[in-house]
Structure 1
Amino acid sequence: MILPAALLLLGALTAVLAPRLLARADWPDREPVVALWVWQCVVAAVIVCCALSMTFSAAAAWHAVGGPVFSTAPGPVVEAYALGTSGLWADTTAVTLACGGLWSVAMLAREVVRARSRRQLRRAELRHRAPLLPGEEPGPDRLVVLEGERPDAWWLPGTPPQLVVTTAALRRLEGRQLDAVLAHEKGHARARHDWLLNCATAL
């Protein structure tokens, strides 16, 4: 039963050390897209370590799990990893990790519901502050300009998605700068960063 413990230790070390190393490095400021991919790989590595540890622990604790999961593995491999015998902490580890996985799914569902509620409130506020003109159709290419003292621009996901910019941003930004900001916000929408944000918040 050394393998599940080693996987758990690897996942814990990755979860603790990787954010600190990324926070201390200066290259994420120069390469934010690469930093985002590295961060996603770190999260995926921790999840995979926990999932594999849970699988191996469950296989060791309950033959009903181990049989189907490792049915194609040669006997010496199963014996080498002690997957056929229940270790002292195998059942506790498997149940704990399964509960952690269910809790993460529940938190993700809660975050999606909360994000949808926040988005509906922002849409209602947007309709109140910038109603559609007679004959105007809502669409993904519609740019909403709001009166505001603070320069800001954002993409409001949903159906249809809305691109919003404040008058302070329009006053401050010149043509190419404004195009760059709007392209940046559209990039968030194309990459579905709202879903990444929901997952990160839930985790």
Structure 2
Amino acid sequence: MSYAVWVPLLVPFLAAPTARRAAAYLSPRHAVVLLTTAALLPAATSSAALALLAVPGASYLPAVAALGELARPLSLGPPPVTVALALAAGGVLAWRAGLVAVAVRRDRADLRRARAAAGGTAGELAVLRQARPDAYALPGRPGRIVVTTGMLRALEPDERAALFAHERAHLRGRHHRVLVAVELAALCHPALRTLCEPVGYALERAADEAAAAAVGDRRLVARAIARAALAARAASASAPDRPRAALGMNAGPVPRRVAALLDTPLAVPSTTSRPAGRLVVAALVICLTVSGATAVDAVEDLHGHVEMAQGQNLTR
């Protein structure tokens, strides 16, 4: 098998930091799309590369050889090296798949508990009688806005309207799906873990902008975010019991979000410029293209080896 199979395993180490830098030059909505693509595509191609590395070693098993109608095993070199690579790649792939399965099961359990705590009423708003200020968008059918009585007391009526608009934007945009998808992708390759925080920030910023458009006042949304975050921090140091997939108004780097709504220099890096932004985005596109192209090339190369092992190389 050619060197191409190794490229998708290495690209995420370059694509992830490039994607984080590129997101700073984009609007929140476009940053979400870019970061999500930068997580899902390398996760898929790197997982495919591990599978491709495992296939030649597996071909030494009689059952696999019979299933593939192989006249002889595939090989990446000496049989001990091929088998060792297959065992390592297969082990990593199985371990990652197990982590993904556990995460999916945990998130589903968290959502079930949260829906049960929110009650079975049909209304969009679910009010929990809790002193700790908290509010979040609870995904489901239908999605609901969960807010505690502590949060309602901490905000003024117009700030509550901004909060509801923010959480409604999360539900309408299905932001929880993006967050979960990126977190699962991060379990497929260690380099992709650094994309979870930027994606969470971009999702909150997208909801901030949607809330500002809904209430028609960016300063009001900024004030509501700051007051909600201060109230939650002052009330308790304990971690909130919201599900991992639920997004809330007081999450993420609040000073940056407030600065972005107020259009202050804190919102973006001081070194940003349009030419630099285009260059960084182009570099990311190149990384993702190379990752996808080399994965396809590795598949085609393996297919050629399979045909030869099946004795179908007479026409080559």
Output the TM-score relative to the length of structure 2.
0.44
Letter in 2 for 1:184: A
SS of the equivalent of 2:137 reads strand
**What is the number of residues matched between the two proteins?**
176
Partner of 1:23: 20
Task: State whether structure 2 residue 141 is matched by structure 1 residue 155.
Answer: no
Cα deviation, 1:93-149, whole Å, max 9, x if unaligned, reads: 22322222221221112112222333344345445xxxxxxxxx623x421235667
Q: Is the 8 A contact 1:154 1:163 kept in 2?
A: yes
Would the alpha carbon gap of residues 7 and 35 (structure 1) be closer, same or farther in structure 2, given more than 3 Å must change? farther
User: Bigger CA drift: 154-163 or 107-116?
Assistant: 154-163
Partner of 1:11: 8
Residue 101 of structure 2: which of 87, 102, 109 is its match?
109
Structure scoring higher RCO (CA < 8 A, sep ≥ 6) equals: 2
Cα deviation, 1:145-180, whole Å, max 9, x if unaligned, reads: 356674x532223455421234135635275x3563
Partner of 1:79: none
CA distance in 1: counterparts of 2:44 and 2:67, whole angstroms: 22
Residue 38 of structure 2: which of 22, 39, 42 is its match?
42
Partner of 2:169: 184
Residue 82 of structure 2: which of 90, 105, 108 is its match?
90
Q: Quote how far apart the aligned CAs of 1:20 are.
A: 1.4
Identity of aligned residues (%): 21
Letter in 1 for 2:33: W
Q: Matches of residues 51-70 of structure 1 in structure 2 within 5 Å?
A: 51-52=48-49, 54-55=51-52, 58-59=55-56, 62=59
CA distance in 1: counterparts of 2:38 and 2:68, whole angstroms: 26
- Which ranges of structure 1 fall in alignment gaps of 5 or more residues? 72-82, 128-136
Partner of 1:145: 127
SS of the equivalent of 2:77 reads coil
Q: Quote how far apart the aligned CAs of 1:69 are.
A: 6.9
Q: Quote how far apart the aligned CAs of 1:194 are.
A: 5.6
Letter in 1 for 2:85: T
Letter in 2 for 1:143: L
Would the alpha carbon gap of residues 110 and 61 (structure 1) be closer, same or farther in structure 2, given more than 3 Å must change? closer
Deviation beyond 6 Å, 4+ runs, structure 1: 66-71
Letter in 1 for 2:19: L
CA distance in 1: counterparts of 2:182 and 2:43, whole angstroms: 18
Letter in 2 for 1:7: V
CA distance in 2: counterparts of 1:11 and 1:102, whole angstroms: 18
Would the alpha carbon gap of residues 109 and 171 (structure 1) be closer, same or farther in structure 2, given more than 3 Å must change? same
